[in-house]
Structures are given as structure tokens and as C-alpha cells.
A and B are shown apart, each in its own frame.
Chain A
């Protein structure tokens, strides 16, 4: 079946540090890939997406590149801020796969001033 694996957290960084959150996937087909962010006590917000291999999604300084050869979609940011503290979820969507998003377990990011 389809699945998403994320690095376990929490990830603790100092402000302005470089961030990488690893995400790999297993899918029968060519999925679209997403990163969602969940701030404390809130729902999910779409952070960025990529719909085909080698696409780069970007938003608010975050980037992720769809790597088909390594089945990965790692999230990066060059300089994190305290306000980036949240839980980040990697997800995939496949056509004709129940029309559902398959999520990873989430990675909590804590940024200290």
C-alpha cells in the first residue's frame, strides 16, 4: 500500500538555523506530494506541494523538491524563526487511490530564540 515516513521529532533548533525534515514515500504510481503545517490547537494548513517529479514547491521560505529516484520530498528552510514552531506533516495523494491523502506521522519543530 501507499505510505509516508517522516523523521521522528522533536527537532529543536535555534533561531536562524537551517532546517531539514526528511520525508520518504512508498506509492504504486506517481503521487502528488504535500507538506502541511499544524500550529498548536489548530487544523492543517497547506504549506507547499509538488505534482510531478523534479517539481519544487516553495512557500514562506520553505522548499521541497519531488525526487522520484529517491522517493523523497524533504522539507528545507534556510533560516527558521520562533514562529515556525509547529508540527509538519508530509502527505501524498494518488488518483484512483480512494481519493485520500496519506499522511506521515508528523515532525514537531521547536525553534528557540
Chain B
């Protein structure tokens, strides 16, 4: 149990639709990151939020966007869904940032299937 909760756990969307995934970070953690894990691959960094501001972004197009709220919970939004967006989306939290001594906690993930 990492204290990081994600919702929904599973969902199916149609190509072209939009999706919102949610994450509640561990209590007191002000940094949230999102990763995409395609089947059989390692997670790929999408972006990170620190104190409600984007604080690093991986190689993902602008249709992947996010928010962080004052309570440090976060959302990942994906517009114009493509079939290749089908993956497990992982949220990770840490404090006070992903410094070398800090532990990064992952949630169970949200499985997205695009048909």
C-alpha cells in the first residue's frame, strides 16, 4: 500500500474521444508524475507537476495535458485518443521533489483501452 490512489482502474474509450485520469498522491507529497506503460514495456515519463506547475515533460504531444490541485491531487487528460494510447497509466508521488534520497511511490495504475 503506497498511499497513491488512481481512478478509474479500467476504462474503454473510442478513438478520437477524450479521457481524464485522476490521482491522489500520498499525504504531504507535493510532486506528482505521470507515466505511460505500454504492454510489455517499461514506463515512459509523460510529465511532472510540482506545487501546481508543470515541472518537466517527456516526449509526448500536447494532447497529453495535466493539472495539479492545491491538495496536490492530479489529473491527466488525453485528447483525440489514438489506438496507440492504449496502455497502463501510472501516477507517482514524492516529496519534496524526486531528489536522490526521496522515495517515489506509484499507484496501481489506470488501464486505458482505445478501440
Known interface pairs A43-B107, A43-B109, A44-B90; A101-B45 also in contact (CB < 8 Å): yes
Known interface pairs A98-B57, A99-B97, A99-B98; A46-B103 also in contact (CB < 8 Å): yes
What residue of chain A has the Cβ atom nearest to residue B88's Cβ?
Answer: A43
What residue of chain B has the Cβ atom nearest to residue A108's Cβ?
Answer: B40
Do most interface residues of chain A lie in helix, strand or loop, or is the interface mixed?
A: strand
Known interface pairs A32-B100, A43-B106; A99-B41 also in contact (CB < 8 Å): no
> Are A44 and B100 within 8 A (Cβ)?
no
Do most interface residues of chain B lie in helix, strand or loop, or is the interface mixed?
A: loop
Q: Does B55 contact A (CB under 8 A)?
A: yes
Contacts of B45 in A (CB 8 A): 98, 100-102
Interface size on A, residues (CB 8 A): 25
Contacts of B100 in A (CB 8 A): 32, 51-52, 93, 95
Known interface pairs A99-B33, A100-B48, A100-B56; A89-B106 also in contact (CB < 8 Å): no
Q: Which residues in chain A, 11-51, are within 8 Å of chain B measured between CB atoms?
A: 32, 34, 36, 42-46, 49, 51
What residue of chain B has the Cβ atom nearest to residue A49's Cβ?
Answer: B103
What residue of chain A has the Cβ atom nearest to residue B108's Cβ?
Answer: A43
Q: Does B2 contact A (CB under 8 A)?
A: yes
Give B residues with C-beta under 8 Å from A: 2, 4, 31, 33, 35, 40-45, 48, 50, 55-58, 90, 92, 97-101, 103-109
